Amino acid sequence: TYVVTDNCIRCKYMDCVEVCPVDCFYEGENMLVINPNECIDCGVCEPECPAEAILPDTENGLEKWLELNTKYSAEWPNITVKGEAPADADAMSGVENKLEQFFS
């Protein structure tokens, strides 16, 4: 599966939702997550994210993100249409440790 990671937080560009063939993105206030049980591993969303926040969970150290995507995709509503990114999305891109600082 692919998972959404740190740099999505407060960037939330939402280009990813437009390309997913199985509509498996879920929306929280500050970020989106992928439902790992629905993702078919097509990889199409990865290059679409301007924040480079989407990664295959086979990369090292992504266990906590797999957990977070699994947990919140069960709680948050499905999203299939791109909305407007936060006004300061570009300024927030690349800020470190967003999970600890901004996740709510």
> Does residue 40 touch ligand SF4 according to CB under 6 A?
yes
44's contact among ligand F3S, ligand SF4, none, with CB below 5 to 8 A by partner kind, is ligand SF4
- In our burial notation (b when 16+ CB lie closer than 10 A, e otherwise), range 73-87 reads beebeebeeeeebee
CA distances from 16 to 5, 61, 86, 100, 101 (A): 13, 22, 15, 23, 23
CB 26 within 8 A of CB 33: yes
CB 21 within 8 A of CB 42: yes
> Does residue 20 touch ligand F3S according to CB under 6 A?
no
How many residues line the site for ligand F3S (CB under 6 A)? Answer: 13
> Does residue 4 touch ligand F3S according to CB under 6 A?
yes
33's contact among ligand SF4, ligand F3S, none, with CB below 5 to 8 A by partner kind, is none
Judged by CB under 6 A, the residue of 14, 32, 34, 79 near ligand SF4 is 34
- The residue ranges that bind ligand F3S (CB under 6 A) are 4, 8, 11-16, 32, 49, 51, 53-54
